[in-house]
Structure 1
Amino acid sequence: MRPPPDPAFLYPDVMASGSLAATLRNVAAGCLAALPDDALAPAGPLHAAVSAAVPHRAPLSVSAWARVRRWSVRGTEPYQGMCLVDGWTHDLAEVARAARAWRDGVPLEGIGRAAPFVHLTGRFEVPDSDPARLAASEWQHLRREAYELEYDWREPYRALVEAAHASPVLRALYPFTSHWVLRFSTTTRPRLTLVGPCLTANADGTYGVGTGMLAPDLGLFATAPEAVACAVRQLPSGLGPVAPGE
C-alpha cells in the first residue's frame, strides 16, 4: 500500500494555520470564533476536540483523513464512551456547524438538522447515567444498526435483534455484540457482567445458541424466536435490574 500523501498537499490551509482547531475557527468565523480558547483544542495538527457545555457529552472529536481531503466527527457520552453521533464530509463549514451544535447542547436530532452529514447511531443521551435507560439506549442503537447493515446476512441478523428485543427478559438486560454475536450483561459498560448464552444469525437463515461464540452447542434453530426462547431458558433465575458497570 502506498504511503499517505504529505499532509501539506491535502491540507495546506491547516498547515498554514498551525492546527485543525485554528482552521476551524478561521472557516467558521461567525460560528466557532467566539468560543472560549479552551473549548476548541488542538489534538495534533490534523485533529481537534470541541468541548461541550453540558456534562453528559465528551468533547467532539474532529479529524482529517490521511489519504483524501475529508473530515470526520465523532461524539460520545463520557460515562461509557459510546458513540452518539458520527459522520464525514468534504465541507469544513459543515463540521463547524456540527461542532457548535454539539458544544451548545443542541439535542442530537437537532445536530443532524444543523449538519445533515451527521449520522445518529440510535443511542440517546442519559444525563444521569441511569442503567436501565442506558440499556434501553443500547437496544435502540442495536436495532438501528441492524437496519442500516448492508451485509448479505442482514435480514437474519435484524430478525434476531428484533426477536431478542421482543423478549421482556432479554430487553431488561444490557445488550452488546462481539463479532456480531449478540450477548447480554447484568451491568452497563464500562465493566460488563456477562449472563446467558450467545446468539448468532447465520447467512443460511438459521440461528445458533451457544455457551461460547464459536459453536451453537445449545442448539441451531430455523427461526429467531425459537433461538431467543432457548436463550431465555438458559438464564439464571432471580435476575435483578441492570446495575451500573463501575
Structure 2
Amino acid sequence: MARRGDPERHSPSGTLRALDRTVRGARPRPAHLTESEWQSLRQEAGELEYSWQETYQALIEAAHAEPTLRALYPFTSHWALRFSTTTRPRLTVVGPCLTANSDGTYGVGKGIVSDDLGRFPTASEAVALAVRQMTAYRRPIALGG
C-alpha cells in the first residue's frame, strides 16, 4: 500500500468511494472529493508514528481551519502540503507548499522542500502566509480529469 507521500499513490479511500459512484452512474462532486481528501489527510496525520507527527498534524489542522485553503483540493508530496484547483487524477497545483520541519518549525516555499518564502515557529503563521499567496485562486474546485 502506497503512503500519502509516495508519488505512486493516486487516490485516498474517500476519492475511490466517490469514483465508485461514477461507475454506478452518479458523477462525483468536486466539493465532496475535496472534503473527503481533507478528512483523509487529517486522519492520517493523527495516526502517524513518527517523531514529527505532532508538528505535521498541527500543520494539517491549521490549514484545514483556514477557509481559503480548505476550499482547495489538498494533497501531499514528500510530506509537504500542496493545493490544487482540480481534483485527482489531473491536479492543477496552485500557491505555495507548506512543510512541517523536524525542528518544530514550519516552512512556506515555492517548491516541495523549500522554505524560501518563510520559516515560522507556528503552523498558524505559516498558514497565514500561504493564504496571502492564494488570493488569485479563490474559485470553485473542478474535477481533474
1:230 paired residue number? 129
* Preserved contact between residue 80 and residue 113 of structure 2 (Cα < 8 Å): no
1:160 paired residue number? 59
AA paired with 1:158?
Q
Structure 1 moving runs of 4+ over 6 Å: none
Gapped regions of structure 2 (runs ≥ 5): 2-9, 22-26
Q: Which has the higher contact order (CA 8 A, sep 6+)?
A: 2
How far off is 1:83 after superposition? 4.1
1:82 paired residue number? 11
Shift in CA distance, 164/238, structure 1 to aligned 2, threshold 3 Å: closer
Within the candidate set 83, 101, 104, 1:184 is matched to 83
Instruction: Name the larger-Rg structure.
Output: 1
Task: Specify which structure has the higher proportion of helix.
Answer: 2
2:142 paired residue number? 243
The alignment-based identity, stated in percent, is 64
* Preserved contact between residue 196 and residue 236 of structure 1 (Cα < 8 Å): no
How far off is 1:151 after superposition? 0.6
1:138 paired residue number? 37
Verify: 1:208 aligned to 2:137, yes or no: no
Q: TM-score by structure 2 length?
A: 0.84
Gapped regions of structure 1 (runs ≥ 5): 1-71, 73-80, 85-122
* Preserved contact between residue 206 and residue 221 of structure 1 (Cα < 8 Å): yes
SS at match of 2:59: helix
How far off is 1:245 after superposition? 0.4
How far, CA to CA, are the matches of 2:69 and 2:88 in structure 1?
17
Q: TM-score by structure 1 length?
A: 0.50
